[in-house]
Chains A and B, each alone.
Chain A
Amino acid sequence: MALNVTKIRADFPILKRKIGGKPLVYLDSAATSQKPKVVIKAIDRYYREYNANVHRGVHRLNEEATIAFEQSREEFGRFIGAKTSKEIIFVRNATEALNLVVLSWARANLKPGDRVLLTELEHHSNIVPWQMVAREKGLKLDYVRIRDDGVLDWESFEQLIKESPRVLSLAHVSNALGTINPVREMAREAHKLGATVVVDAAQSVPHMPVDVADLECDFLAVSGHKMLAPTGIGVLYGRQDLLERMEPVMGGGEMIKEVHLQDVRWNDLPWKFEAGTPNIEGAIGLRAAVDYLSKLGMQNVREHEKDITRYALERLADVKGLVLYGTKEIEKRGAVISFNLGDIHAHDLATVLDTQGIAIRSGYHCAQPLMERLKIPATSRASFYIYNVKREVDVLVRALEKARKMFRI
């Protein structure tokens, strides 16, 4: 069913904003999404009506806040197909989720000489934590090659998986090029050889149906702020048996059952990993976001994004001097388009577009190794979400024509 985008747009107050007198054209949802009224209201209501700490104390407000907090966890678990809400750990964002896997699971389970398999298109958050643990433990990092069109080189994967890595950690959807990786097929191969599979789903869970059982992954990292929720809330999904055997990485309140002067017993899942007062408003906002997206239907979200991405790719291909990166196959890419216009530096282009009310991202997109691999300096990136319409693509194209004339491309 097609999304009713007119109705959706009315749910996002910020879309009424003018930038320098021009209507805001927000094409930077891959960086962070805008927030609908229901999310803003849910947070507002929490602070007005039942603000209290969770899991502590017995007064009415404690109880209401705790119920809301834990319902968010359950709702999110259902949203991504977790078997139980014990598999849902609240963290700050996908970066923290990946770091938690590295700091707890990888440090305890990997030994010198073990191999970790990543890909060349990873976000820095799925490279740097592995480099840190690789230095500490003497691990070897391998990277699956990316073809020039931004699609994973399957032969390279088959070769490297034969080296029996202990971990395969990869992005479901590339934040820089939009490539959708064949995670299930790769996870299957990796599991045959006994590897643990970690998926950075920061760019997929907000945009398409994602089911952890279907993906066959062991860990999955998600950021709330890219899926209509506030910043500072994210989720690490982990298979229950793996999480049970893992040690916490932060100590404090909430994550303990008993504390004595010389001894401590950890709390049960999922609280074992949640030291200190958590981001309660974030979890409540995340629940409202998940409700909102569920009502739209994630398959409908995906279809809408495919439609607008297809249109944008066609329109952008007509701009003289514009170079598009990534695959042309719409089934293999998310709603992210990276491009350069002539020799205009991406930041100069972003500044010119800003004068037309258009918000895009420019730079390395936290994927410097990928940019080096593709031999491109920096790119401009337009990304779409549920509230974007084709008319905004037209505004983008007109602004690019203006920039082209200004820089005499």
Chain B
Amino acid sequence: MTTDIYKETILDHYRHPRNYGDLPNANAHAKDSNVLCGDVIEMQVRVKANIIDDARFRGEGCAISMAAASMLTEFSKGKSISEIKKLGKDDVVKLLGADPGPARIECALLGLNVLKAALVAQQGA
């Protein structure tokens, strides 16, 4: 583990999260928490014809969870549901540009897990 995980881009997303807040006309949402850090993330998504039209999040927690969620909302816009469902740990590490290490990977994955849960709920509806 190095301090790479707290590099400039990550701290910037943490201090100035993108797509933060409520999404009007959202048709998919989910919320979950990570007991380790007490991170809480809620994702609100608007899906049109299986494509993510817009995504926003809110929540609180550590820098890694918040930055990963912020980056994920930017990344997911315009992607198809099936593309998002295929994302995994390696993709989140690539988005962050640094590996948070085994002790903190759950923080980084919380946003993706919540986004996937929102999409599953939307499809089930």
Whether B30 sits at the interface, judged by CB under 8 Å, is no
Residues of A with C-beta under 8 A to B107: 347
Whether A142 sits at the interface, judged by CB under 8 Å, is no
Q: Which of B2, B11, B61, B64 contacts A355 (CB 8 A)?
A: B2
Nearest Cβ in chain B — how far from A284, in angstroms?
32
**Do residues B11 and A345 form an inter-chain contact, with CB atoms below 8 A?**
no
Residues of A351-409 at the interface with B, using a CB-CB cut-off of 8 Å, are 351-352, 354-355, 363-364, 377-378, 406-408
Residues of B with C-beta under 8 A to A344: 63
- A118 and B1 CA atoms in complex are apart in Å by 41
Given A363-B37, A363-B38, answer yes or no on A345-B1 (Cβ-Cβ < 8 Å): no
Whether B25 sits at the interface, judged by CB under 8 Å, is no
**Do residues B38 and A355 form an inter-chain contact, with CB atoms below 8 A?**
no
Q: Which of A346, A351, A377 contacts B104 (CB 8 A)?
A: A351
Residues of B with C-beta under 8 A to A377: 38, 60
Given A354-B1, A355-B1, A407-B11, answer yes or no on A347-B37 (Cβ-Cβ < 8 Å): yes
Whether B125 sits at the interface, judged by CB under 8 Å, is no
- A354 and B60 CA atoms in complex are apart in Å by 23
Residues of B with C-beta under 8 A to A345: 37, 61-63
Determine the residue in chain A with the shortest Cβ distance to B61: A345
Nearest Cβ in chain A — how far from B33, in angstroms?
12
Whether A57 sits at the interface, judged by CB under 8 Å, is no
- A348 and B64 CA atoms in complex are apart in Å by 8
A/B pair count, beta carbons within 8 Å: 46
- A348 and B100 CA atoms in complex are apart in Å by 10
- A4 and B103 CA atoms in complex are apart in Å by 35
Residues of B with C-beta under 8 A to A351: 1, 5-6, 100-101, 103-104
**Do residues A352 and B6 form an inter-chain contact, with CB atoms below 8 A?**
yes
> Which of B2, B3, B62: most chain A CB closer than 10 A?
B62
- A377 and B73 CA atoms in complex are apart in Å by 25
Specify the main secondary structure of chain B where it touches its partner: loop
Residues of A with C-beta under 8 A to B63: 344-345, 348, 407
Number of A residues, CB within 8 Å of B: 17
Determine the residue in chain B with the shortest Cβ distance to A403: B6
Residues of A with C-beta under 8 A to B49: none
- A347 and B39 CA atoms in complex are apart in Å by 10
A-contact bits for B23-37, CB 8 A (1 contact / 0 none): 000000000000011
Residues of B with C-beta under 8 A to A363: 36-38
Residues of B82-125 at the interface with A, using a CB-CB cut-off of 8 Å, are 100-101, 103-104, 107
Residues of B with C-beta under 8 A to A407: 6, 11, 63
Residues of B with C-beta under 8 A to A364: 38
21 contacts between A and B (CB under 8 A): A345-B37, A346-B37, A347-B37, A348-B62, A348-B63, A351-B1, A351-B6, A351-B104, A354-B1, A355-B1, A355-B2, A355-B3, A363-B36, A363-B37, A363-B38, A364-B38, A377-B60, A378-B37, A406-B3, A407-B11, A408-B11
A interface, CB within 8 angstroms of B: 20, 344-348, 351-352, 354-355, 363-364, 377-378, 406-408
**4 pairs of A and B residues whose beta carbons are closest in the complex:** A345-B62, A347-B37, A348-B63, A347-B62
* Sample of 16 further A-B pairs with CB below 8 A, known A406-B11, A407-B6: A347-B37, A347-B62, A347-B64, A347-B104, A351-B1, A351-B5, A351-B6, A351-B100, A351-B101, A363-B36, A363-B37, A377-B60, A378-B38, A406-B3, A407-B63, A408-B11
